[in-house]
Amino acid sequence: MSLLWLKLAVLLYGVAALAVLPAALYDRPNWRHLAIPATVAAAFFHFVSLAEMLVAAHHRLPVETHELQSLFALLLTLVFLVIYARFRAIALGIFVLPLAFLLGILAAFRPGHEELLPLRTGWIYLHITLLLAAYAALLVSLLASVLYLIQERRLKSKASVLNWIPALGTPLEVLDQIALKSLLFGLPCMTGGLLIGSWIAQQTMGAQYFLDPKILLAFAMWVAYCIMIFIRRHSGLRGRRAVYLSSFVFLVVLTVWAANQFSAVHRFPTP
């Protein structure tokens, strides 16, 4: 049954991903009225599916790749909905909804089967959720920065060169606030996730665990995240340079993710 709900959610993500294009790019309110309810419904069925999937597997945390993908897509969607509720900024949906759709498709049609360490503590669940939430926030921040750049270029080009780019309904300052506030939301999540992960590792494997280069890379990721927030807050970094900085930190995050996926040591579900 959980896969059925997930497939329904994927279908709704697909509808929302299509409807968001005219809503955001051509400012058509009728499409907005389709995109947002479809997203809310998709998130609901996605949550039901995930909950049923975890219950059916007799565990309370996502331990397989498709479960992680599914949870990440859900968190990303929730971040988008929160931003929409706060700023009425639908433009982010242009990227977020197709991404949620693709991650959902992978989870719905290619279930994973990885065996992971048999940790059954609630702290692991929190560790994973917090880190995924931090990644989702970082991704949203990066997307908002990219949208800022597009909107800025369009405004600067006036009525000539970049006129083929449809105007985004979201103003520059709102995009900037979304980018910064997403980062500010992501930092405590990442900090909490890393601290909880470190504590669990200390309990289960001891101090040698922290000599693993990929673990050091994870802490480097946290430092880069902090530096990025510091620079954005104190120099008001926007536009092109903000995109570069966010992209760099996102690259670090991807590296940490990949390192964790391929490492033989750290196979409990840190993404």
**Taking CB under 8 A as the rule, does residue 174 contact another protein?**
yes
Helices and strands: H and E segment counts in the chain: 8, 0
**Which of these segments, 96-104, 134-142, 158-166, 203-211, binds another protein (CB under 8 A)?**
158-166
Of the residues 167, 187, 226, 259, which one makes contact with another protein according to CB under 8 A: 167
**Taking CB under 8 A as the rule, does residue 146 contact another protein?**
no
Using the minimum distance from each CB to another protein, give the nearer residue, 117 or 155. 155
Contact 99, 143 (CB under 8 A): no
**Taking CB under 8 A as the rule, does residue 247 contact another protein?**
no
Contacts of 158 (CB under 8 A, 6+ apart): none
Binding mask 216-235 for another protein (x = CB under 8 A): ------------------xx
As a whole number of angstroms, the distance between CA 181 and CA 97 comes to 20
As a whole number of angstroms, the distance between CA 168 and CA 242 comes to 19
Using the minimum distance from each CB to another protein, give the nearer residue, 93 or 197. 93
**Taking CB under 8 A as the rule, does residue 151 contact another protein?**
yes
Task: Using CB atoms within 10 Å of the CB of residue 224, give its burial: 0 to 12 exposed, 13 to 18 middle, 19+ buried.
Answer: middle
As a whole number of angstroms, the distance between CA 133 and CA 192 comes to 11
**Taking CB under 8 A as the rule, does residue 172 contact another protein?**
yes
Distances (CA, A) of 203 to 59, 121, 199, 268: 21, 12, 6, 14
As a whole number of angstroms, the distance between CA 247 and CA 145 comes to 10
Alpha carbons within 13 A on the beta-carbon side of 13: 29
**Taking CB under 8 A as the rule, does residue 171 contact another protein?**
yes
Using the minimum distance from each CB to another protein, give the nearer residue, 177 or 255. 177
**Taking CB under 8 A as the rule, does residue 159 contact another protein?**
yes
**Taking CB under 8 A as the rule, does residue 173 contact another protein?**
yes
CB of 251 to another protein, least distance (A): 22
Show contacts with another protein in window 27-66 (CB under 8 A): 27
Of the residues 238, 250, 270, 271, which one makes contact with another protein according to CB under 8 A: 238
Contact 31, 20 (CB under 8 A): yes
# binding residues, another protein (CB under 8 A): 22
Residues that bind another protein (CB under 8 A): 27, 151-152, 155-156, 158-160, 163, 167, 171-174, 234-241
